[in-house]
Chain A
Amino acid sequence: MSEFVYLYRGGEADRSPEAAQQIMQKWMTWLKDLGAKGHIKDQGQPLDRTGKLVKGKQKTVTDGPFAETKDVIGGYTLIEARDLDQAAELSKGCPIFEVDGSVEVRPVMKMSM
């Protein structure tokens, strides 16, 4: 098994309280299901969509957001899968696709190659 990180991007839209709750429940179901199948190494964390950006030799500090809303990373999860293809396949159940978001699937690099 290898490790992968899911980076969740975008998918934030105005929605009614009822719709928001439904999306949340879909996420909970999806993550629970992945966990039950032994694919979750670390459920991960949500990330606030604001923050600060420190940049350059001058170490200039600017206030976020740093990207277009659709590109902001809203959270991550650490996944275990056979290979990159399987990790990508597993991500297809993510409810973020229903709200125009995307999942970036990135292999975690290992020490011993």
Chain B
Amino acid sequence: MGATSRSARWPRHVRARPLALLVWVAAAFASAPAAAYTVYVSNEKDNTISVIDGESLEVIDTIEVGERPRGIVLDGQTLYICTSDDDHIEVLDLSSGRVTHTLPSGPDPELMALGPDGRHLYIANEDDNMVTVVDVEERRKVVEIPVGIEPEGIGVSPGGEWLVNTSETTNMAHFIDTESLEIEANVLVDTRPRVAQFTPEGDEVWVSSEIGGTVSVIDVESKTIKHKIGFEVAGLRPESIQPVGVAIADDDSGKVYIALGPSARVARVDRESYEVEEYYLVGPRVWNLTFSPDRKRLFTTNGVSGDVSVIELESGRVVKSVKVGRFPWGVVVGDG
């Protein structure tokens, strides 16, 4: 996922929310804490979105949405939610806290990504082996692309040329040309691939394999695996280490963070050496993760413990667990 708001759009917020302007101005002048931000978490079992204030790290709102919310994507003040068991995408207007409309998605939408044009939403339909492309402005399906069995992860290249979809039972990453909407290459990865995440430069896609226990780094140019990363934590059964969420830093730190599911660990991997440098202890069934806008913190959703862990990246400490709803799944961060 790793999806933060896709571009810095604070002026729009500022127009919409005078209070945010005050906060922003105060923050800018005080130069102490970073600009205010908000964390949004989908709770799979509770059918809610938890809203966490980035400064106080308190839950400030809980919004009811449709059945089984999982993948979420933020675009300014619009939160797109895969409400999997309702078989559609809900569009939540964050300024009013209301679901304004739904988008067609095909059955059982699980993960999705918004193209850089802010208009095309690419959705994995876990139940019918399709990737659905939806035009969010016209609110209609543009096309359905047949892929492997149980499509799961969706990643869009920074320039928007490539769409990468993983299929869990076919064990492949499918490279789809977003212009022709054809599959151009299929890369065999380890068992049960989940998340596909492009690097900010767009030269690599990192694909996590939950049951295989590895992350494959795929070279976008040649569409081949250039490196495979394994994990090992002393005292833990290897089968409990199940890579799922991938967050790639877009600052100069050169680090990638990988959520390792039932092992309750997040791994830090160096992008140059592909070495695993550190394991952070968070909550069990850690599924997805994302950075704060200033890239100083990492937020993780811990499904079994029902909370969000906050990792301070500089000190490497888990500073807080924020109790949210039952089975938190997706997490995104927005400015303001």
A and B bind? no
Tell me the A residues contacting B by CB distance below 8 Å: none
